[in-house]
């Protein structure tokens, strides 16, 4: 007995000691499963599509955390022992994971199987939102610009959520509900594939084409600051936004603030507005200056935004014309800070200060921190900043400028500033439509921070900086692109740039999808 119960106090009853020692030596306490949950939640799949599901089992020290998978309707969807669900036929199936330790704890999700969408044979036929979603979700996006180098060269991908977020008038007949659904979708934390149909009024009716008085209300004392703040909404990470049926966001601005993997295609940005009838160049009126950009990419919490593709969008001040004073508008599309961004096939019109890249003369002077491509964009009836740039690796090819400058504000096209490094190739500047003193290039650099501008094969010469005359490309584009014939740009670019009413298979193929 003494050998069996070695180390146990002799004051205890020996019989009890014997029993205690035998139990300790031959049995352990088994921890049972208390809950099972399926991590991915409910899902919608197309026929023949597969998705793997995973589980969380509590507590973490459960003795046996294995589960058994089952489907309530195997003719609709099957699931194997590893949680791989295969969608077979249209319908709804309940997928369940049950603990095998005898606790009978389980978790379940609903899988909805939709019919596979077959793209129309006619490439000019209009695609429905379901067609677009089925064709693009999860696919790689090829932008033929710096955005293709996002994520260490892996490139950009259309988001791949379980379901489509459709923002249209049929689903949201109340304009306020529609605006809220749109801004909730773009600002949600989860990846989202958003298709917008028709108008989204970001001002909730406070502003219209004929009434901008909301921004003409001021405090009674100097400096006459506006009573109402800017109307802006943020776009979160991993968002695909595509417009159909003349989709427009109106009377406010969208912000990509330190975010990544954002694709916006076929959307019109209409009259962001945001300021005043006051002459902001006069003392005392500074606080009433416009500060809403229709779209802005900017740094957020020390995070540099990256992986942004803006394609086939239209930027315009709508019915408001303010080409000389610029009291009522700030930028069309400003990129204060951002890396690996492509802007392609967009139309910029009826606006003064179009695109500012790098917002501070004392910051952002390392050109490699901003890498931006502009190609096949149509700048017309604009005044300046197409673009105005501080330290940036800026590739500008196959764009078309027409009707630049107005009486009273002659403007310019390209404005390379401090440490800007431009490659300007195969563009068309319609100089015959410029105002007499409008410049194709207007430099904002300095001898200490010279702009390097390499130009080749444009229809007219692009003047070099007084501080640096580039004779070779200052850097080499790391992505694939083709240069179209310059002579064809005045026809091809206006015909295809900007937002279109509908989306067709041909339109989608204009930018290849791998």
Catalytic annotation, residues = 385
Cα separation, 330 vs 445, in Å, equals 22
What is the torsion angle, in degrees rounded to the nearest 10, for the CA atoms of residue 245, residue 313, residue 134 and residue 83?
A: -130
Q: Among 27, 30, 22, 28, which residue's Cα sits nearest to residue 5?
A: 22
Cα separation, 137 vs 271, in Å, equals 30
Q: Look up residue 220 and give its two tokens.
A: 């009674």
**Cβ neighbours for 434, distance < 8 A, ≥ 6 positions apart:** 404, 405
- Three-state SS string over 309-359 comes to EEECCEEECCCCCCCCCCCCCCCCEEECCCEEEEEECCEEEEEEECCEECC
Sign of CA dihedral 510, 388, 429, 293: positive
Q: Among 57, 39, 48, which residue's Cα sits nearest to residue 85?
A: 48
Q: Among 113, 143, 178, which residue's Cα sits nearest to residue 343?
A: 143
Cα separation, 253 vs 273, in Å, equals 9
Q: Among 365, 368, 369, 417, which residue's Cα sits nearest to residue 389?
A: 417
Cα separation, 120 vs 305, in Å, equals 36
Cα separation, 507 vs 453, in Å, equals 33
- φ/ψ of 199, rounded to 5, equals -90, 140
Cα separation, 80 vs 69, in Å, equals 7
Q: How many other β-carbons are positioned within 10 Å of the β-carbon of residue 77?
A: 27
CA distances to 166, 373, 450, 492 from 507, rounded to whole Å, are 20, 21, 40, 14
Q: Among 145, 477, 196, which residue's Cα sits nearest to residue 308?
A: 145
Q: Look up residue 123 and give its two tokens.
A: 């490439």
Using only C-alpha atoms, what is the Rg of the chain? 30
């Amino acid at each position: 007995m003494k050998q069996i119960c070695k180390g146990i106090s002799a004051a205890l009853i020996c019989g009890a000691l014997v029993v205690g020692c035998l139990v300790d030596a031959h049995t352990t306490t088994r921890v049972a499963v208390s809950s099972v949950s399926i991590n991915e939640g409910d899902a919608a799949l197309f026929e023949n599509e597969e998705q793997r599901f995973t589980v969380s089992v509590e507590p973490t020290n459960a003795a046996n955390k294995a589960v058994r998978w089952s489907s309530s309707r195997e003719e609709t969807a099957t699931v194997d022992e590893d949680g791989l669900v295969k969608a077979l036929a249209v319908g709804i199936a309940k997928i369940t994971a049950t603990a095998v330790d005898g606790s009978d704890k389980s978790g379940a999700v609903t899988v909805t199987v939709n019919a596979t969408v077959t793209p129309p044979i006619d490439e000019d036929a209009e695609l429905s939102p379901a067609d677009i979603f089925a064709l693009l979700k999860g696919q790689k996006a090829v932008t033929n610009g710096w955005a293709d180098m996002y994520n260490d060269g892996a490139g950009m991908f259309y988001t791949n959520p379980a379901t489509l977020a459709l923002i249209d008038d049929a689903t949201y007949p109340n304009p306020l509900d529609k605006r809220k659904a749109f801004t909730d979708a773009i600002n949600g934390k989860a990846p989202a594939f958003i298709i917008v149909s028709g108008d989204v009024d970001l001002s909730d009716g406070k502003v219209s084409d004929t009434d901008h008085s909301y921004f003409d209300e001021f405090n009674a004392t100097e400096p006459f600051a506006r009573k109402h703040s800017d109307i802006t909404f943020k776009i979160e990470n991993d968002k695909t936004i595509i417009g159909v049926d003349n989709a427009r966001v109106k009377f406010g601005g969208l912000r990509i603030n330190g975010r990544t993997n954002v694709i916006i295609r076929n959307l019109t940005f209409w009259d962001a507005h945001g300021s005043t009838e006051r002459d902001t160049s006069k003392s005392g009126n500074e606080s009433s200056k416009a500060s809403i950009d229709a779209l802005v990419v900017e740094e957020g919490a020390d995070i540099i935004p990256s992986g942004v593709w803006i394609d086939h969008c239209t930027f315009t001040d709508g019915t408001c014309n303010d080409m000389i004073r610029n009291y009522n508008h700030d930028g069309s599309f400003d990129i204060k800070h951002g890396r690996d961004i492509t802007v392609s096939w967009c139309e910029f019109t009826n606006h003064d200060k179009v695109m500012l890249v790098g917002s501070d003369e004392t910051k952002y002077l390392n050109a490699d921190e901003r890498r931006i491509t502009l190609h096949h964009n149509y700048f017309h009836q604009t005044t300046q900043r197409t673009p105005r740039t501080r330290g940036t690796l800026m590739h500008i090819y196959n764009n078309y400028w027409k009707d630049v400058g107005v009486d009273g504000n002659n403007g310019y096209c390209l404005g390379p500033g401090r440490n800007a490094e431009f490659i300007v190739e195969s563009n068309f500047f319609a100089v015959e439509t410029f105002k007499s003193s409008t410049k194709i290039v207007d430099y904002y650099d300095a001898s200490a921070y010279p702009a390097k501008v390499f130009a080749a094969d444009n229809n007219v010469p692009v003047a070099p900086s007084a501080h640096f005359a580039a004779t070779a490309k200052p850097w080499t584009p790391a992505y694939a692109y083709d240069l179209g014939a310059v002579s064809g740009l005045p026809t091809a670019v206006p015909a295809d740039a900007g937002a279109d009413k509908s989306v067709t298979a041909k339109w989608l193929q204009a930018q290849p999808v791998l």
